[in-house]
Amino acid sequence: MYEGQWRENPGSPDASRLSSTVTFWLPTEFLESHGPDAVRELALKLSADLPFASGHAGLAFNAELGLLEVDQWIQRERLRHPGMDVPDESASLHLGDRIRGVHWLNFLGPPVLTELGGVEALRGRLKSPGTTVQSLSGERAVITLGSEPDAGDVTQSPVLPAYRELARVLEPWLYFQGDSRPWRDTEGQRRWERRFLD
């Protein structure tokens, strides 16, 4: 499934600048039947001509939010499985040039990649086994954390060390929704957003 939208970007220093958001969904069955290499290749093809500042791909909860029982289940399970994303398309209203978390595939472009010193500097800072930094056209890159997406499980140890390493590198550019939006459970949202940092 594909969703796309354009909107003014109030998070940008230039408030007149437009930002765009595009979302692609694949069923888990696609990953299971075609394998993670096919998913990564598809993500690279889809991103090839997009002038992105950032983007990501990985596992995500895909449920009808707004139902109290579903919301409560996701709130509980997201803390157990930190590698799962909880999509929130409205976050792009506040995102600006910041990055919305750490995932299996992490796409970076200007300005963050430039401020990090480029691809070689980023490679020098990421040492976890299985982490790769691939240069893309247009001064962009994709950071892949392992050979396949991993939901993680806090009942096991260590919990996604490569994700934690990248989160520490990207921390100054990470977007924390709790800073700009009200939440019913502000503390729970803070724990979720800082799951790879605290």
Q: pLDDT tens, 80-95?
A: 999 999 887 666 677 7
Between helices 186-193 and 68-80, what is the axis angle to 10°? 40
State the average pLDDT over residues 93-118: 92
3-class secondary-structure state, position 54: strand
| Residue count of the chain | 198
pLDDT for the residue 79: 85
Whether 27 has a pLDDT exceeding 70, the answer reads: yes
Burial of 120 (0-12, 13-18, 19+ CB in 10 A): exposed
On average, the pLDDT of the chain sits at 84
State the average pLDDT over residues 125-144: 97
What is the DSSP pairing of strand 2-8 with strand 18-24?
antiparallel
Strand partners, 136: 140
Confidence bin at 64 (pLDDT 50/70/90): low
Confidence bin at 41 (pLDDT 50/70/90): very high
Instruction: Indicate the helix (H) or strand (E) that contains 94.
Output: helix 92-95
Q: Which of 165, 162, 168, 167 is nearest to 148 (CA)?
A: 162
